[in-house]
Structure 1
């Protein structure tokens, strides 16, 4: 079987696809990815065959990003989902995806839900396709509804057809009810040779609770990400904990200034290895980090910055698996920027999550539910066997 994988820019969009790439490779299937130039390094490092698509004009995307900090959350959602993903990214990726589908002739296309060019081409050519979720299903469906008017310019009723195609998600039903009629839930297993190893003794013999802090790969290069890192360091420096901050390759770590003795910063760490030893995770609520922490049974303190993160923060809090600390400015209007006023609030939230065992117990129940889902290999086999 030939399987084509497609994704927009951002490691957080492509990463949920990688377990299926690995499963296809293990089955002996042929795989190919079509991705924007910014993902070339990631795929090269993973040894995944790829072709390079295009990214939208920089001036057009900059105009959108410049508007985001001043936009309401509703306006920001339209800008990102309709204008960026629906209009600009689809137009940019369409030629390369169409060329790959016509000359490589995949049997199945697996794509990020926000990568619409592959759905357009697959529908036109009669190729089976499925979405591999990045975010909770309600958020994905909302994003699709926002993009629907521009997608209809390519294929009438494409949004409705996407809601009826297989929708593969890592999130469990109790946390993430799905409006997609063909929802298939799966669980990730450790990649061969990637078992978590012992972490370096960055703190010597200190056995204090470990708090893992990460604000993702996308936000690291943005003012909100740097502000969040700085706020977290200040909030946690006074607590009797060890802090491991993964800054991300786009973050200028020099902007954090001198670091307290209980804080260690790395550009990148293997999250599964850290989560195996962590007592709590402080993050922005990106779906990858949220899923990883919950799958490991680790409670969270979520400081949402943009996109699906506020919704993820509320899901975690409503499930009792952690607390949300919305940056000053609140979640309803313009996106808040973490700052000094949030330091005591974040510190108190981490203290509460560490002191109250109910948060870890709730995260553990979610992790147990996740472990009952079919494996990626089983899910892929079901897709391959479908007519």
Structure 2
């Protein structure tokens, strides 16, 4: 039986990317799929060949709304451990859910959905709360994208490979190539990029940094002779050549690097970055430097350390390779819910 599936997510790459392969797999097996999210990800969804339904606005409007509500800068001065508990109920629970819910309900009714798959903080996806007769699959509690070395799935949850298997054979450069990224959302602080560039300038490595489409690489000139700075390079092209990654701790970057067996130095910037950074360090997959710990000397030492111990990251890559592919999860969902 063909399913009619509504996928609900926050309109940011870190929230959409883990769900998009599953949405595509559901569509490829013949199910009717609509992705409901903010307009910022419309092109990404339609380029993937999926139907898009606009739901609410997005973070560019949500953050000012939260600032107005609290009469200040959201999260200003909070210690790292409190950032996520602060933002989830306020930004995603109060602001985002209210903004998205009417559009999500309209999309669900128009599709006549009987299954909704939703991002963990896309609370507007909890449609049974609003009286719709749908089955709900929450990505995280019902479908885990984390390899066991990082996080054990909850009892009864399905595990799904979080990223495609590397298309290219890993061929690390010599001297070692380090990839620096702060993702697409937490990349506004160019001082962090500059600190890493300075830290590795005299080290026996090469460095490629991507600063994001909204930043100008020339703002970081002059950069060291062993460095190159670009707005964007597809990670699928870059990671097979790397020996380590310096990143912000976004889920997509963390999992993409691990799929290639790369150790990481995580410099968390916001939201779940701090949780992911802690998991990476505690699992032996890399190191973490909190904002107040980020200095050129600390970065240079940490990069040398992770380069010296790639074995745990390679074990994580082996675990990811054995996780069920999205097409397998799509088949299981059809068997359970159609």
TM over 0.5: yes
Aligned-pair CA distance for 1:351: 1.4
Q: For 2:243 and 2:14, how far apart are their aligned partners in 1?
A: 24
Q: Determine the structure 2 residue equivalent to 1:238.
A: 202
1:168 and 2:137 aligned:
no
Task: Show CA shifts across 1:105-143 (max 9, x none).
Answer: 12321111000111135762121121224xxxxxxxxxx
Q: Determine the structure 2 residue equivalent to 1:147.
A: none
Unaligned runs of 5+ residues in structure 2 are none
Which residue of 203, 206, 212 corresponds with 2:179?
212
Distance 1:253 1:189, change over 3 A: closer
Which residue of 338, 343, 346 corresponds with 2:299?
346
Aligned-pair CA distance for 1:363: 0.7
Q: Secondary structure of the equivalent of 1:96?
A: helix
Alignment of 1:45-124 (within 5 A): 45-55=47-57, 59-63=64-68, 66-73=73-80, 75-121=82-128, 124=131
Give the count of matched residue pairs.
329
1:310 and 2:317 aligned:
no
Instruction: Verify the 8 A CA contact 2:180 2:246 in the aligned structure 1.
Output: yes
Q: For 2:278 and 2:242, how far apart are their aligned partners in 1?
A: 22
1:261 and 2:214 aligned:
no
Q: For 1:120 and 1:188, how far apart are their aligned partners in 2?
A: 25
Q: Secondary structure of the equivalent of 1:219?
A: coil
**Aligned-CA RMSD value:** 2.4
Aligned-pair CA distance for 1:74: 5.2
Q: Determine the structure 1 residue equivalent to 2:214.
A: 250
Instruction: Verify the 8 A CA contact 1:97 1:121 in the aligned structure 2.
Output: no
Distance 1:305 1:173, change over 3 A: same
What's the TM-score once normalised by structure 1's chain length? 0.78
Which residue of 319, 323, 333 corresponds with 1:369?
319
Instruction: Verify the 8 A CA contact 2:22 2:329 in the aligned structure 1.
Output: no
Distance 1:284 1:234, change over 3 A: same
| Greater relative contact order (Cα < 8 A, sep 6+) | 2
Q: Determine the structure 2 residue equivalent to 1:40.
A: 42
Alignment of 1:327-342 (within 5 A): 327-328=291-292, 338=294, 342=295
Which residue of 8, 15, 18 corresponds with 1:16?
18
1:323 and 2:300 aligned:
no
Instruction: Verify the 8 A CA contact 1:11 1:42 in the aligned structure 2.
Output: no
Distance 1:286 1:241, change over 3 A: same
Distance 1:73 1:345, change over 3 A: closer
Q: For 1:209 and 1:347, how far apart are their aligned partners in 2?
A: 13
Instruction: Verify the 8 A CA contact 1:187 1:373 in the aligned structure 2.
Output: yes
Q: For 1:318 and 1:74, how far apart are their aligned partners in 2?
A: 15
Q: Secondary structure of the equivalent of 2:158?
A: strand
What's the TM-score once normalised by structure 2's chain length? 0.89
Instruction: Verify the 8 A CA contact 1:109 1:122 in the aligned structure 2.
Output: no
